[in-house]
Amino acid sequence: MEILVIGGTGTVGTHAVRGLVERGESPKVMTREPGKAGVDGAEYVEGGLGDGDAIRAALEGVEAVLLITPLHPQEGDLGVAAVKAMDDAGIERLVFQSIHRVQEIPDPPHFASKIRIEEEIVSTGIPHTVIAPNNFFQNDLWLREPIVEHGVYSQPFGNTGLSRVDARDVADAHVRALLDLPAEGLAYPIVGPDVWTAEETAEAWGRHLDREVIYGGDDLDAYAEQAGRMMPGWLVEDLVEMYAAFQERGLVASEEELSLSRAVVDHAPRTFDDFAAETAARWSS
């Protein structure tokens, strides 16, 4: 099958590309930097979501697409334009990465963008599958310095709880959706086996690093001030809205969703404790 991966060099996409190659596929991966080292066995072509000509060229001869849209102030516009190009190209199968229960938390801009792109996919009639993951374990990789150097866990998602998931499991779901599952317009939650609060997450990092790690707290004004030193304002505002929703309502999977997630991934879900242990060992080496 001729497969194009859009968003194939990020947290999830790299693992998905590797998984496709391991299944005997030779996916095409669209990237702004095709010369950088990637996954052996994949073909890297130059282009970005904002380049309509590049998208149309990349779609030539392609039967199936994995679409992972980036955090971007125009994410919705870019994603919708890409879907329109796929429809024009006669794509036979589309797998789109959305967010777990995105319809219940529609206000953060990158959540709203996912909803809009999903609606465009449905309107085109392209045979598709939506993969809807919870919060990634791997988001914590950005927090190495505050965790290791200062003993503070600073992702302010509160203590209602999230069914956090390993990005590698999300990638496995993408591969299965592209190669094994019927494209019937269904959305599959991809979730972790345990519910984690921010305080429990801090404790887990402390346990695996053998040092005290405390949760930095729910103060989103303080978070915004700190994050604003490293991120553009539009992204800080987006994340503050998301964390406010997480603090208020959480994002906890039902037993039915966990069972469905296991079936789609086709193996036992990876655990946060295992992820934290392997990451702590790497950080400490």
- pLDDT tens track for 13-40: 999 999 999 999 999 999 988 877 689 9
C-beta atoms surrounding 203 within 10 Å: 17
Domains by residue range for the chain, with CATH: 3-133+167-189+254-265 (3.40.50.720)
C-alpha 142/C-alpha 1 separation (Å) is 35
Tokens standing for residue 27: 């996916």
Query: Backbone dihedral region of 158: left (phi > 0), alpha (psi from -120 to 50 degrees) or beta?
Result: left
What's residue 35's pLDDT? 79
pLDDT digits (tens, 9 = 90+) for 230-241: 999 999 999 999
What's residue 231's pLDDT? 96
Could you tell me the sign of the dihedral formed by the alpha carbons of 151, 154, 155, 158, in that order? Answer: positive
Is 102 in contact with 131 (CB distance < 8 Å)? no
What's residue 33's pLDDT? 85
pTM higher than 0.85: yes
Look up residue 165 and give its DSSP letter: B
What's residue 36's pLDDT? 78
What's residue 133's pLDDT? 99
What's residue 34's pLDDT? 82
C-alpha 212/C-alpha 21 separation (Å) is 41
Low-confidence residues in the chain, pLDDT < 50? none
- DSSP of 193-248: SS-B-HHHHHHHHHHHHTS--EE--S-HHHHHHHHTTTS-HHHHHHHHHHHHHHHH
Is 64 in contact with 93 (CB distance < 8 Å)? yes
Is 92 in contact with 127 (CB distance < 8 Å)? yes
